[in-house]
């Protein structure tokens, strides 16, 4: 059930990419307005996930799974039947809410089922691999549906049927897991949550609308500055609480912060790259949806294979080498997309799409395994939610940045050459962000006592270790046992 939820999430997200051109024509949207079909989904996903993690920990994994799949079923019906672009964007917001609940339960279900570290890592790797599988089938089925007489609305009717089936199947198949013990003295951090869910939409809206209103206009400056201040103040505020919304390792442990950064960059990078590539295919090269999907199919297969490679490398390489190498690989293969011109040969597209996606899954697999090996099991719901928040937040922010950059460098949206200039500028932006984050990871990631943390090495067994990992908080109740996903 967990793998199916992950599969459907990636499946429907990929399908929508190939339907954007048809949606744009049908609902009278511009090439940049239509991108809000994706941004709205990712934004809702990111802002609801912190709540979903707390709900999962309080009411159980089964409740979260059934609520999420049921809500997503209803929201898909709204998208399929919408008469205008506003209804579609609202429907996509509701889809993000449902998907946030259902996918947040996936990793915790696996970690509850498999207590053995090796089996858990394999299970999580399988979960991650369902994403590329969803991408492969989403490309083909999405392209076929868009070009069929049923049109783009059939995309959402299909997602409705799949989630409806999953909800019913989950009612019978998902067991009732024991809930973690609740401490009545600990209260849910409503104020911190309010800072995040208010700041992120303000920041995204300001970034995306800056190209329309002007970056120096007072309303844009106020929106971006206020949103950025709220988002940046969120973790600072959380550090002052005894029971923060974020698990404490994400606040005090530099390595865990870097794992969140990895999810931000690779999640946002993948979503942004896929949007830009499909828009280049459909709007600049005027490829059909089906041909576009076929050109990207080898890359999707390679991404699936690389997920297994990530699991294999987890027990044979250090975290710094595996994730740092993935940053370098991914950044290097963004460059050919920034150099792409109109009339490019299909071999160029197929080759560099394959090479780009090959580096994504190993980083995500290792970052997730390392995180869940560090966080106590009773906080796996919260930890998983935070990782997915990072993934979707990265998607929303980078999509908005890419959209704003493309608009700024596009003089005439009806001209293929002008649109290509805008998309190229967005690829270069993505390269700069990925390369900068990779450099930051390599410089800041640290080992304990000169070696990687392994399952046999505990952190918090001595006062000096605690001070090294958690700052000044060295009380026994706040120490966290740390173990990595595989032996380094």
Does residue 480 fall inside a structural domain? no
| Residue closest to 36 by CA, chosen among 222, 209, 256 | 209
- CATH number of the domain that residue 20 is part of: 1.20.1250.20
The set of residues, in sequence order, having a beta carbon less than 8 Å from that of 271 and lying 6+ positions away, is: 13, 38, 42, 394, 395, 398, 399
Domain tally, the chain? 1
Which residues, listed in sequence order, are joined to residue 448 by a DSSP beta bridge?
Answer: 451
* Secondary structure letter of residue 448 according to DSSP: B
Host domain of residue 144: 2-173+247-446
pTM: 0.78
| C-beta pairs of 338-342 under 8 Å, 24+ apart in sequence | 338/424, 338/427, 338/428, 338/431, 339/424, 340/280, 340/420, 340/424, 340/427, 341/420, 342/284, 342/285, 342/416, 342/417, 342/420
The set of residues, in sequence order, having a beta carbon less than 8 Å from that of 369 and lying 6+ positions away, is: 120, 121, 124, 125, 314, 484, 485, 486
Q: What is the pLDDT of residue 32?
A: 79
Which residues, listed in sequence order, are joined to residue 451 by a DSSP beta bridge?
Answer: 448
Spatial distance between the Cα atoms of 454 and 65, rounded to a whole number of angstroms? 32
Task: Tell me the pLDDT of the chain (488 aa) as tens digits.
Answer: 777 877 888 888 888 888 888 898 899 888 878 888 888 888 888 788 777 766 777 777 788 888 888 999 999 999 999 989 999 999 999 998 888 888 777 777 777 777 666 777 677 767 766 776 787 788 888 889 998 888 899 999 999 999 899 888 888 877 776 666 666 556 777 788 888 888 888 888 888 777 677 778 888 889 999 999 998 888 888 888 877 777 777 777 788 888 889 999 998 898 899 889 998 998 899 888 889 889 988 888 888 788 778 777 877 888 888 999 999 999 999 999 999 988 889 999 999 999 998 888 888 888 888 887 777 766 666 677 677 778 878 888 898 889 888 888 888 877 888 999 999 999 999 999 999 999 999 999 887 554 454 333 333 332 333 333 333 333 333 333 333 333 33
User: Is there a contact between 107 and 380 (Cβ–Cβ < 8 Å)?
Assistant: yes
Spatial distance between the Cα atoms of 401 and 138, rounded to a whole number of angstroms? 25
CA gyration radius, the chain = 22
H-type alpha helices, 174-213: 190-213
Does residue 462 fall inside a structural domain? no
Per the structure block, which two tokens stand in for 471?
């700052």
Does residue 236 fall inside a structural domain? no
As a whole number of Å, the end-to-end CA separation of the chain is 31
Q: Would you say the C-alpha torsion 399, 402, 408, 410 has a positive or negative sign?
A: negative
User: Is there a contact between 375 and 480 (Cβ–Cβ < 8 Å)?
Assistant: yes
Per the structure block, which two tokens stand in for 361?
């899954």
Does residue 468 fall inside a structural domain? no
Does residue 339 fall inside a structural domain? yes
Q: What is the pLDDT of residue 397?
A: 87
Does residue 134 fall inside a structural domain? yes
| 3-state class (DSSP) for residue 451 | strand
Spatial distance between the Cα atoms of 178 and 61, rounded to a whole number of angstroms? 9
Q: What is the pLDDT of residue 127?
A: 74
The Cα-based distances of 374 to 122, 379, 460 in angstroms read 17, 10, 12
Q: What is the pLDDT of residue 460?
A: 33
Q: What is the pLDDT of residue 87?
A: 92
Does residue 110 fall inside a structural domain? yes
Does residue 409 fall inside a structural domain? yes
Per the structure block, which two tokens stand in for 27?
């609902």
């Amino acid at each position: 059930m967990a793998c199916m939820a992950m599969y459907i999430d990636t499946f429907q997200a990929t399908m929508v990419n190939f339907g954007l051109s048809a949606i744009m024509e049908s609902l009278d949207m511009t090439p940049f307005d239509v991108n809000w079909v994706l941004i709205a989904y990712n934004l809702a996903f990111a802002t609801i996930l912190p709540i979903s993690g707390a709900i999962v920990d309080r009411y159980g994994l089964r409740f979260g799974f059934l609520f999420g799949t049921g809500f997503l079923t209803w929201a898909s019906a709204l998208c399929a039947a919408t008469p205008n672009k506003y209804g579609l964007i609202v429907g996509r917001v509701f889809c993000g809410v449902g998907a946030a609940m259902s996918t947040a339960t996936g990793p915790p279900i696996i970690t509850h089922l498999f207590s053995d570290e090796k089996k858990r890592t394999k299970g999580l790797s399988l979960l991650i691999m369902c994403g590329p599988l969803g991408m492969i089938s989403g490309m083909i089925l999405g392209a076929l549906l868009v070009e069929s007489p049923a049109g783009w609305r059939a995309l959402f009717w299909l997602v409705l049927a799949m989630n409806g089936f999953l909800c019913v199947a989950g009612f019978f198949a998902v067991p009732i897991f024991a809930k973690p013990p609740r401490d009545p003295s600990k209260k849910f951090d409503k104020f911190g949550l309010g800072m995040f869910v208010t700041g992120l939409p303000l920041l995204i809206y300001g970034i995306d609308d800056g190209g329309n209103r002007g970056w120096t206009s007072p309303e844009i400056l106020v929106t971006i500055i206020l949103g950025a201040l709220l988002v940046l103040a969120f973790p600072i505020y959380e550090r002052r609480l005894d029971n923060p919304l974020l698990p404490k390792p994400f606040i005090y442990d530099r390595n865990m912060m870097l794992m969140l950064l990895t999810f931000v960059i690779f999640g946002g990078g993948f979503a942004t790259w896929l949007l830009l590539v499909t828009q280049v295919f459909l709007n600049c090269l005027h490829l059909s949806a089906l041909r576009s999907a076929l050109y990207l199919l080898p890359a999707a297969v390679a991404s699936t294979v690389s997920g297994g490679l990530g699991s294999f490398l987890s027990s044979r390489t250090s975290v710094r080498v595996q994730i740092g190498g993935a940053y370098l690989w991914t950044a290097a293969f963004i460059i050919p997309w920034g150099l792409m011109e109109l009339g490019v040969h299909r071999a160029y597209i197929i080759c560099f799409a394959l090479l780009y996606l090959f580096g994504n899954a190993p980083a995500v697999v290792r970052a997730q395994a390392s995180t869940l090996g560090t966080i106590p099991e009773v906080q796996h719901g919260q930890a998983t939610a935070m990782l997915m928040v990072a993934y979707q937040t990265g998607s929303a922010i980078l999509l908005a940045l890419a959209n704003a950059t493309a608009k700024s460098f596009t003089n005439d949206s009806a001209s293929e050459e002008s649109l290509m200039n805008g998309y190229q500028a967005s690829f270069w932006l993505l390269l700069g962000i990925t390369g900068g984050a990779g450099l930051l990871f390599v410089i800041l990631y640290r080992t304990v006592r000169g070696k990687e943390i392994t399952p046999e090495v505990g952190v918090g067994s001595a006062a000096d270790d605690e001070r090294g990992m958690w700052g000044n908080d060295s009380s026994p109740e706040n120490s966290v046992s740390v173990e990595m996903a595989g032996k380094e």
